[in-house]
Every structure is written in C-alpha cells, then in structure tokens.
Amino acid sequence: MMPLGEYGFKLQDDQINHRGTFAQTMEKKPEYILHDASSRGHADHGWLNTYHSFSFAQWHDPMRMHFGALRVLNDDFVSAGNGFGKHPHDNMEIISIPLEGSLRHEDSMGTAAVIAKGDVQIMTAGTGILHSEKNNSSIDPVRFLQIWVFPNEKDLTPRYEQQTFKPEAEHNDFLCVVSPTGEEGIRIHQDAWFHLGTWDKGYNQTYEIKRSGQGVYVFVLEGSIEIDGHSLNRRDAMGISGAEMVNVSATSDSRFLLMDIPMEW
C-alpha cells in the first residue's frame, strides 16, 4: 500500500524509492549538500504556516525527495485553536518534536495525549492508522517539527510512544532522543538516531556516525553552527554522506537537530 501524505494524499512512485540520494558516494570522500532556509517549500493556509525541507503536498522538487530514509521534515506553525483533523497514514515512522506551545494528539488506537516543548513523540503507522494533531491552546500558537522516516519493515503493528527530556541534558552535548533499540530515547523501526543539542557559542564536539552506510542530516533550530567548516544559520540544513565523523561548532548560542540516517535500507 502506498504511503499517505499529511492530508491523506498518496505519494508518487518517485517519492518512495528506497535508494538514498547520496548512496553512490558512500565509498568516496564526504559529500556535503546545503539546504538553506530560503530554499524550502512553503505554504501559508492561514491557520497553518508550514515549511518543507523535502517535497510535500503541492511542493515538488525532484532534487529534494528524501535524504536516505528521511522522507519528510516539516516546520509547522499552527494558530490557536486549530490543527490537522483526523487523517490516515501507513508504513511510516512519524516523529513530532514541539518547539513552542503544546499539541494534542488522538488516534485510532485510542491514544489521547498532549506533547509540549521537551517532549518527543513517535508513531509507527505500520498497517494503517488514523490520527489528528491540534493546537492544545485556544490562545497561543504551537510550532513543531513533523518528521517522517521510512521504516526498515513494512506492515508493522501501529504503536505510539512519547518521552520527556530535560532541557539541561542537551546543553553542550548530543542528546539522543530517538534510537533503534529505545535504550536511548524512544524506539524507531529504523537504524536511525536523532540528537538534540543546545550549545553555547564557541563550543564544539565531534560526532561519530553510528555505522557504515549512514549519513547525517543536521537542521539548525536557532542560532548558527559550522559543520566541518561549512556555515549554517537558523533553519538551514546540511546533509553529509560518505563520512565517518563530523565536527560541529557553535558560532553563536544555538540549538540544532542531528539525524543519523541509513542511506540505503
């Protein structure tokens, strides 16, 4: 069954191929690709102001289909009292990370939960699920990241999990919030590790990529950083393939999301 989009649409065949964009470079020197903030897709629906790092809904860029198993990275701003009504998904790992405000989740498994800044939520859509996501406040907006990752197995039993992380745990560190086993963070059905970092200006650290054949996609939430000498500012992103490690430096007080993703699966 073909994966369904955020609004229930079916993704096209060229959106679900299972070869990472940079797979051919894995035995060569590291390759870097910059996705600056202004290059993202954008749609303003009034109640929803959304930016797409990869092709989504009405925005289609054949060069921006996915980075390995990372299929969707949406930066969503939802006005007070609004949200996404009940809609279907299948065969996708869906991660939500609130940045401001709080979000109410309900699904066909009977889950009813609220997530806020500091929480990370994952939903295995598997054989199929219906869910809704709505701003939990009638006064304040909510901003959150919605991320889709292709699973390493199809037609899994749907599941839901969320976890709260202390802000200080990501201070000048790579805080793992998603991992394949769930020993660190919450479990994902893929060889993927997500890390959050809130770093002071001048701090730097080397990140060792978990396994051969993995790539790293880094998305800057606030501030500015350098990755192996490449400069990124707020809402810029960079994909790195063919590397064993990357050096990250904070050129201002910053916060970022680093995703260690298989390029083939």
pLDDT along the chain (265 residues), means of 10: 40 42 58 98 98 97 97 98 97 98 97 97 98 97 98 98 98 98 96 98 98 97 98 98 98 98 96
- Residue 16 placed within a domain: no
Strand bridging mode 237-241 / 119-124? unpaired
Helix, strand, or coil (residue 228): coil
pLDDT of residue 27: 53
- Residue 20 placed within a domain: no
Cα distance between residue 90 and residue 190, in whole Å: 15
- Asked whether 87 and 132 are in contact (CB, 8 A), the reply is yes
- Residue 253 placed within a domain: yes
Residue 111 CA, distance from chain mean position: 22
pLDDT of residue 202: 98
- Residue 9 placed within a domain: no
pLDDT of residue 20: 45
Strand bridging mode 214-222 / 237-241? antiparallel
CATH number of the domain to which 140 belongs: 2.60.120.10
Structural domain for 251, as ranges: 27-262
Beta carbons within 8 Å of 147's beta carbon, 6+ residues apart: 70, 72, 73, 74, 94, 95, 96, 97, 259
- Residue 14 placed within a domain: no
Question: What predicted TM-score, i.e. pTM, was given to this entire model?
Answer: 0.90
Cα-Cα-Cα-Cα dihedral of 54, 58, 62, 63, to 10°?
-30
- Residue 8 placed within a domain: no
Residue 183 CA, distance from chain mean position: 19
pLDDT of residue 67: 98
- Residue 209 placed within a domain: yes
Helix, strand, or coil (residue 139): coil
**Total domains in the fold of the chain:** 1
pLDDT of residue 64: 97
pLDDT of residue 220: 99
- Residue 21 placed within a domain: no
Strand bridging mode 245-250 / 225-227? antiparallel
pLDDT of residue 28: 73
